[in-house]
Amino acid sequence: MKEKKAGELTAATIANFVGVVLFNTVPLWRQYTRGVVLQDFVQILWAANVSFLVQLIGNISMLFYRPPRFAGLAQVIATATALMSMIVFFVVFPLDFGAIGAAWVNSALKIVLIAGMGGAALGVLVQSIQLAAGWRGLASTAK
């Protein structure tokens, strides 16, 4: 795995914080979405919050403590929680673009979610194997 620099971790932390704020305020401005964001959106907030929180904690902790095994474990956990969040979003699917005459977008987003879930599942598998094997990536061995 490529070691992240402090600037990347800080940017990721800020992006995750913004994500938490945006996701949790959607119910407040849902009425202005012309029916695209459904009332069911609140049912996915717990999963999104868990994912954002895990990533925030992982990024902040890696700013101060970054041994390779810890970074690998943090990445596996973050990817697994992102997968969980995508699954919940897919099952609930709190959007309906049919309300604005673009129902095809619902299908397209579901396809993107399926691809993302497959990628995240593969990522969890590969990262877990790398962590178990103690592999630290080509970048760290090419000195």
Return the percentage of the chain with pLDDT > 90, whole number: 65
pLDDT at 82: 96
Name which of 42, 14, 18 is nearest 28 in CA terms.
Answer: 42
pLDDT tens, position by position, 38-58: 999 999 999 999 999 999 999
Task: Check residue 5 and report its DSSP letter.
Answer: P
Residue pair 118/70 in contact (Cβ under 8 Å)? The answer is: no
What is the rounded CA–CA span in Å between residue 74 and residue 78? 6
Extract the tokens encoding 38. Answer: 């459904």
pLDDT tens, position by position, 92-102: 999 999 999 99
pLDDT tens, position by position, 100-116: 999 999 999 999 999 99
What is the rounded CA–CA span in Å between residue 82 and residue 63? 21
Domain chopping of the chain, boundaries? 6-141
